[in-house]
Amino acid sequence: MSFVTDTMAARLKSTIWPQAGATSIDVSLSTPAVAMSLASDGRTIQVTTGGEKSSTNSYDMVFNTTALGPLQQMDLSGLNLDRDILDGIRALSYDRATKVAINFNKRWWTGFYPNADAMHRGGGVSSSDFPLGFTVYPSWDNGDGTNVLIASCAWAQDASRMAALVPDYTDPSTPTPSYAGPIAAVCLEGLVKLWAGRQEAPTLKDLHDYYITHYAWAWSHDLCTCGTFALFGPGRFQNIYPNAHYAWISGALDSVLFSVIKFLAARSTESPDVATKALKLLASDSNPDKKHFEKNERGEHPEGDERLAYWCAEASAMK
């Protein structure tokens, strides 16, 4: 999952993107933001970072991109935010998810899909009421010798119960992963039950013989997320509206787009043409006057729908 962020960091560091002569920007790592506040002049924002190199720096504009859980843990008292915004940060919820990936020495599941073509032979998803939740079988084989199976993808309460079995991999005293470990044992036993009765179904001994290692992760225990995907209930959008594709990567793109639009529009008094340029970011080349918004038509890009982004900006009180 670091592919996206690594690519972003590389682009920021580049001196030829988005154009030749661009300023190279280094991304600071291991410097979590712990507080944000307005400076005494009321025009800049001070951001305090923790970690080994704690410091406070001032910025003209700050775009916060954390999940709401980590945001709530920051000291935001100096921003003088409205109570509605603080309630939104506190109340909007994230569901739980726990995943367990197991690497085997063979793709023992491929024979269960005899009708699949050669390229996709062995792909699919199983669901059950076992602790496993969902089991995801990869539909590719790139020949690198890895045979990783997402043995368990659990949500909600199932995820919480599986999370209790996830070890602390940073603790030196944590035993080396083995098929006898609590969470691996639950998964392997579940896989045997899942395929019981099928021709050539694996036995528990078979899976022990095929087992190489495993890794488990609970997003509810992740300091950077404090949860998995957004799962907002009725009335949760009353005080804050994040985007039209919440819980998806495309939602993150939406948030970036309309946040930039709102920022540029807010600066329109300083530069009269800024608001016009901001709206052009949401208008396609064939519809520069935003007619596709008025006709309720979809924008140009399926993963970053301009019409929905514009609607989100309006719903967030952009004037």
Per residue in 45-65, pLDDT (tens digit) is: 999 998 777 899 999 889 998
The answer, yes or no, to whether residue 109 has pLDDT greater than 80, is yes
Global pTM reads 0.75
Q: What is the pLDDT of residues 236-256, one digit of tens each?
A: 665 555 556 666 777 777 777
Q: What's 97-221's CATH class?
A: alpha beta
Domains of the chain, residue spans: 16-92, 97-221, 241-319
The answer, yes or no, to whether residue 16 has pLDDT greater than 60, is yes
Q: Provide the token pair at 199.
A: 């021709």
pLDDT at 53: 78
Contact of 35 with 70, CB cutoff 8 Å? no
Q: At what angle do helices 306-315 and 249-266 cross, to 10 degrees?
A: 60
In angstroms, rounded to a whole number, what is the distance separating the alpha carbons of residues 160 and 5?
27
Distance of CA 115 to the CA centre of its chain: 34
In angstroms, rounded to a whole number, what is the distance separating the alpha carbons of residues 276 and 279?
5
16-92 has CATH 1.10.10.10 classification: no
pLDDT at 17: 85
